[in-house]
Structure 1
Amino acid sequence: MPEVIFAGPAGRLEGRYQPSKEKNAPIAMVLHPHPQFGGTMNNKIIYDLFYMFQKRGFTTLRFNFRSIGRSQGQFDHGDGELSDAAAALDWVQSLHPDSKHCWIAGYSFGSWIGMQLLMRRPEIEGFISVSPQPNLYDFSFLAPCPSSGLIIHGTEDRVSTPKDVQPLVDKLHTQKHITITQRQIEGANHFYTDHHDELIESCSEYLDRRLNGELTQPKPKRIR
């Protein structure tokens, strides 16, 4: 798994990158939790989501947001980190011009950044949002959400409680032409203590079903 350094908007960004053997394989990018609360690309959930995609033939990238590890720059409260994510996707797409589709997975703060990137990049066809925090971050930009995806969280999360997450899920359920799948991990807290394997298994099952053509709706054809 190559260690990579690539240009970001505030200096270099450090990542881990695994290319697929297939030229036209989809790309998956995995985004880590909050940089100021210990979040890095080596978080175990991020690490295992990375390998979940890699085992299924994706070209896969995870990276440190600005100010973390060898990534340059200063924490920018989400705006800069969104620019980092866009630059990271640009970088991996430049190496794989035949890849037409992309997935985004993010955990906690990373899920907020990933969902914003989703709105800006039409090639993103699926997402996995682990423990989003609509009680802390504004998700009103999802109007409408353009892609089907998974929102997964713990029933004992005290950072973003199920009561906090449910209105976001309910709002997305009303949107046409996408399918939002919600999974709750019984007994899990925000960090999935003692429930890590169950989380990864649930995400893997969802991804496998999507790759088999399930849990989504055909998008309407655009009128030229």
Structure 2
Amino acid sequence: MIGRPASHTIDGPAGLLEVVIEEPARAPVGLAVIAHPHPLQGGTMDNKVVHTLCRAFVLAGWRAVRFNFRGVGQSEGGWDEGRGETTDLLTVIAHHLTDPALNGLPLALAGFSFGGYVAAQAHARLSEAAANRPELVAPKQLVLISPATSRYEVPEVPAHTLVVEGEQDDVVPLASILDWARPQGLPVTVVPGTGHFFHGKLTVLREVVLRHLRAAAV
């Protein structure tokens, strides 16, 4: 487990959900919720790529929230093939947006691998709902790290989405990411010399995400 604040639990659709909150040095500029890799393949919110995403968002001034999907860690329930996990993410978002300190501030979603698929699904659902109900919050930022395009039908995403992929990824091959991105005209940032888990390149990954967030804030 990577050093982090203590977790706590909130009510979820299948029982309690385990959550960790990390705060920036000053008042947050928005809420970022980050989704972890596949629960049945050892994915948890303490994954190093998820931790790296949290650090980038915190450094950019966001409140970063990560959580364990149902059936992982202290989160109750069981694997639901992505359907329930998307609902878990939406529940975590809704819970934290009730904080008055975040009133009127933007929402960002991020995810790694399977978590990237879930984040993209949640983004699509929230954006569709907000189009019909202006009082709802549509995500302003979407950051996907090696989204699981070779295993799931990842929906189309906005043109400003940051997609990052390892050149030597053997879990979600680069070709699969490009096949998904190409019809959308969506740029993909490729980190050379690393695979799915960005071994030896986590600092590079953090800086790529941090630069993107800072540029978007200008």
Shift, 1:85, TM fit: 0.3
Residue aligning to 1:57: 61
Contact 1:27 1:59 in 2 (8 A): yes
Corresponding residue of 1:40: 44
Q: Is the 8 A contact 1:124 1:147 kept in 2?
A: no
- Cα distance in 2, alignment partners of residues 18 and 91 from structure 1: 15
Q: Which residue of structure 1 aligns with residue 215 of structure 2?
A: 209
The structural deviation recorded for 1:188 is 1.0
8 Å CA contact retained: 1:27, 1:99? no
Give the aligned partner of residue 75 of structure 1: 79
Alignment partners' CA distance in 1, 2:172 and 2:6: 34
Q: 1:40, CA displacement in angstroms?
A: 0.6
Deviation at 1:84, TM superposition (A): 0.2
1:184 partnered with 2:190: yes
- 1:127/1:147 contact within 8 Å kept: no
Distance 1:130 1:189, change over 3 A: same
Q: Relative to 1, partners in 2 of residues 1:161 and 1:81: Cα closer, same or farther, differing over 3 Å?
A: same
Q: Of 104, 111, 118, which residue of structure 2 is paired with 1:113?
A: 118
Counterpart of 1:132 in structure 2 is: 147
- 2:27 is aligned, of 22, 25, 31, to 22
Identity across aligned pairs (percent)? 27
Q: Decide whether aligned partners of structure 1 residues 154 and 146 sit closer, same or farther in structure 2, where only a CA change above 3 A counts.
A: closer
The 10-residue stretch of structure 1 (59-68 or 147-156) with the greater mean CA deviation from structure 2: 147-156
Q: How many Å apart are 1:18 and its aligned residue?
A: 3.0
TM-score (norm 1): 0.84
Contact map agreement 2:109 2:123 (CA 8 A) in 1? yes
For 1:132, the aligned partner's letter is P
Indicate the residue corresponding to 1:85 in structure 2.
Answer: 89
Question: In the alignment, which residue of structure 2 is the partner of 1:219?
Answer: none
Q: Which amino acid aligns with 1:82?
A: T
Asked if residue 102 in structure 1 is aligned to residue 91 in structure 2, the reply is: no
Q: What is the CA distance between 1:193 and its match in structure 2?
A: 1.6
TM-score norm. by structure 2 comes to: 0.86
Residue pair 1:125, 1:148 contacting (<8 A) in 2 also: no
**Which piece of structure 1 moves more, 82-91 or 52-61?**
52-61
Aligned length: 202
- The residue identity in structure 1 corresponding to 2:141 is G
RMSD of Structure 2 on Structure 1 (CA): 1.7
Q: Structure 1 unaligned segments of length 5 or more: list them.
A: 174-179, 213-224
- Distance (Å, rounded) in 2 between the aligned partners of 1:51 and 1:198: 12
1:12: Cα distance to partner? 0.3
* Partner Cα distance (1:57, 1:200) in 2: 14
Q: Which residue of 2 aligns with 1:157?
A: 169
Cα distance, 1:43 vs. partner?
Answer: 0.8
The answer to whether the Cα contact below 8 Å between 2:19 and 2:67 also exists between their aligned partners in 1 is yes
Distance 1:68 1:204 in 2: 28
Q: Distance in 2 between matches of 1:51 and 1:199?
A: 11
CA distance in structure 2 between the aligned counterparts of 1:160 and 1:2, rounded to whole angstroms: 32
8 Å contact 2:18–2:68 — kept in the other structure? Answer: yes
SS at match of 1:94: coil
SS at match of 2:176: helix
Deviations 1:144-200 (A, max 9, x none): x34621111011111111111102111221xxxxxx442001111111122222111
